[in-house]
Structure formats: structure tokens, C-alpha cells
Amino acid sequence: MPDANRTVLQGTVDLLILKTLSWGPRHGYAIARWIEETTDDVLRIEEGSLYPALYRMQKRGWIKSGWGESDIGKRIRIYSLTPSGRAELRAQSTQWELMVKAMARVLKPA
């Protein structure tokens, strides 16, 4: 699949990150890899979108971060979901489900 089709739609990055972190704390690279693996490499969040999104979401109080250590002993930043982030995940999930249903009605009218 061409790279242009594999990039994440604008407006969905926060939802994808929140959902990823709902499964537990992760560092940035692990967030991106989980999304790629879960979507069978259909969706990809590039570093240029991922880290600004993480910063923005942390500023909004949806996620928090702390320092951890990688398997090879390297210091890494670990992100986790806050209660506010869980509420935002529920709200964005509901909105996205409405959008998907609306698009399905357009693409396959009865």
C-alpha cells in the first residue's frame, strides 16, 4: 500500500494514541508500533505527528509521562492515560462511531 494511504487521517491521532494507552503505559515508539501492528500496517503515525500530539495531550491532562528504562538500559519517556484521558477516549470513540455509521450510509445507501 502506498505510504500516502498509510498515514493517519487528521483528527484521529489523539484517538489512536488514547486507545493505545488504554492497554497500558508505553513509550513513543511502542505506541506507533502498536497502531501499525494492530491495523496490519494500514495506519502509521509518523514521528512528526506522534510527538507533538503526545506533548499536546499531556498539556491537556489526558496523558502523563515519566522516565523509564528500555530493555537495553536506555532512558526512555513512558506515557500513560489519566482519568481525564479515559473520559476523552470515551467521548472521542462515541463521536468516531457516529462518523463511521454516517460514512457507511453514504458509501452503501440502502
Over residues 11-46, the pLDDT tens digits come to 789 999 999 999 999 999 999 999 999 999 988 888
Q: Which residues of 1-18 are buried (b: 16+ CB within 10 A; e: fewer)?
A: eeeeeeebeeeebbbbbb
Residue predicted with more confidence, 90 or 72: 90
Domain that holds residue 87: 3-107
Number of domains the chain is built from = 1
Higher pLDDT, 45 or 62: 62
CATH of the domain at 12: 1.10.10.10
Backbone angles phi, psi at 88, to 5 degrees: -65, -40
Give the residue-averaged pLDDT of 66-85: 94
Q: Quick one: pLDDT at residue 13?
A: 93
| Structure confidence at residue 71 (pLDDT) | 85
**What value does the mean pLDDT take over residues 77-92?**
97
